[in-house]
Amino acid sequence: MSRKVLCLLLLVIVFSSCKKDKEEEKEETPVSLRFEKESLVKKAGENCDTADYDCSIIALDVVRAAGASEVSKKINRNLDEHLIRLISTQENPAILTLEELSEKFLADYREAAENFSEEPPWEAYVDEKVYLLSDSLVSIGITTEIFSGGAHGYKTLTFLNFDPTSGKILSKQDIFEKDFISFVEEKFRKEQGIPEDENINSTGFWFKNETFNLPENIGFSNDKVVLVYNSYEIAPYAAGDIVMEIPLEEVRPFIRIE
């Protein structure tokens, strides 16, 4: 084999190797995500645009993963589905978009107003916020305030945590080690004045089967972990939300993801 041919083969091998390394590096590099704010406001009723404001309103101030990547689409779809479940008056609504959600909310109000002459205006306010954006975790908090008849409205703070490389919603089991629950229970008992040797419900809480459980909603910021028990989750409405904030450094030993 001539020296010229041998050199050419070596160049091909080196080029192929470099190309493969770059492709592998590209696959392992986390998806670069950024978020933008979007707003949608709809009203129904009389005097909506006057000083005598008296109408139903749904105002959605949401975040959107920007770009056309599949990860962004998946995150946005999961956020919308979560919001639809929170606000819809139906258990399994056939609603696909926030526009449809807004129209249905106001249509349900109009129907209620026709059936009950004293029906007060309905209101739904949503504010979504990116609490944490990192290479391993995206944590988004959703504050909702809803009044759709009844004795009082309902305010909640819920969280969705995402894998930024896939758009998958991460469960508590995905994020935390098993012994995280014992760590939180110890802190909860101290904050709420529940002796270690007494039943977790001894001071009036509603934990199922008298066993401590983590809240449905846990979020992350740059320096802390936020645990939220919303109204009715473990206590009556009058008790309000029960929020725990724990420094991230204390929680780090219990976190599974890097």
Residue with tokens 């101030």: 61
- The answer to whether residue 7 scores a pLDDT higher than 70 is no
pLDDT tens-digit series, residues 14-37: 445 444 444 444 333 344 789 999
Q: What is the pTM of this model?
A: 0.83
Does residue 174 or residue 115 have the better pLDDT?
Answer: 174
Confidence band of 167 (pLDDT split at 50, 70, 90) = very high
Q: Residues of the chain with pLDDT > 70: what percent? A: 85
Does residue 11 or residue 26 have the better pLDDT?
Answer: 11
Are 55 and 121 in contact by the 8 Å Cβ rule? The answer is yes
Highest mean pLDDT among 16-25, 84-93, 99-108: 99-108
CA–CA dist 75, 167 (Å, integer): 5
Computed on alpha carbons and rounded to an integer, the radius of gyration of the chain in Å comes to: 25
Does residue 28 or residue 116 have the better pLDDT?
Answer: 116
Confidence band of 55 (pLDDT split at 50, 70, 90) = confident
Does residue 14 or residue 88 have the better pLDDT?
Answer: 88
Phi/psi at 120 (nearest 5 deg)? -75, 165
Nearest to 58 by CA among 69, 48, 72: 48
Confidence band of 47 (pLDDT split at 50, 70, 90) = low
pLDDT tens-digit series, residues 232-248: 999 998 888 999 999 99
Look at residue 206 in the predicted model and tell me its pLDDT.
Answer: 94
Burial (0-12, 13-18, 19+ Cβ within 10 Å), 79: buried
In sequence order, what DSSP letters do the residues of 36-91 get, joined into one string?
Answer: EEEEEEEEESTTTTSSS---EEEEEEEEEE-SS-HHHHHHHHHHHHHHHHHH-SSS
**Average pLDDT in the 97-123 region?**
91
Confidence band of 68 (pLDDT split at 50, 70, 90) = confident
Nearest to 142 by CA among 131, 127, 154, 152: 127
Look at residue 215 in the predicted model and tell me its pLDDT.
Answer: 97
CA–CA dist 195, 189 (Å, integer): 7
Residue with tokens 């009044």: 147
